[in-house]
Amino acid sequence: MKYKISFTLNNEKVEHEVESHKTLLRMLREDFDLTGAKEGCGQGECGACTVLLDGKPVNSCLVLAVDADGRDVLTIEGLSNGTELDKLQASFITHGALQCGYCTPGMIMAAKGLLNENPHPTEEEIKEAISGNLCRCTGYKKIIEAIMDVAEK
Ligand code: FES
Ligand code: FES
């Protein structure tokens, strides 16, 4: 069964018909071609699928698409302003805070959610905020430095 939903996606109002069982992650990737959010574990363990729902980070593999109705969804694709990267995106590049990049969109969206609530977090608060986001490549040090750099400005 399909439901009609309307929501804000990357700062634009959209209407969409979606199956009741479809996850937010699958809707974003399959119906809107927004493939920045990744499916890693598919069960809330890795954070690769993190997007912001009403400004807060969620594992989009665990959220039903119909639950986006009336809400605000921001994905990594909506973070930049045209060709101007968000400060976090730029800082990840400057600090070399990625290798394969699979975790990066989720990591940046988790950090964005933190900075929305707490623009100047401590290192411990940053570590806590990204504790649900796994990275198999970087060892986290450069990721934390990249977020710290934005948080200190
Ligand atoms: S794919 Fe959603 S938490 Fe891993
Ligand atoms: S950069 Fe490869 S998983 Fe994080």
Average confidence (pLDDT) per 10 residues, the chain, 153 residues: 96 97 98 98 98 98 98 97 94 97 98 97 97 95 97 86
* DSSP code at position 81: B
**The predicted structure's pLDDT at residue 82:** 85
Which residue spans within the chain are E strands per DSSP? 2-9, 12-19, 50-53, 56-59, 72-74
**The predicted structure's pLDDT at residue 81:** 87
Q: Which of 81, 45, 66 is nearest to 2 (CA)?
A: 66
Residue with the smallest CA separation from ligand 2 atom 2 is 100
Give, for ligand 1, the residue of 23, 28, 41, 53 to mutate: max count of ligand atoms closer than 8 Å to Cβ: 41
Which residue spans within 64-146 are E strands per DSSP? 72-74
Show the ligand 2 pocket: residues with CB < 6 angstroms: 98-104, 135-138
**The predicted structure's pLDDT at residue 101:** 97
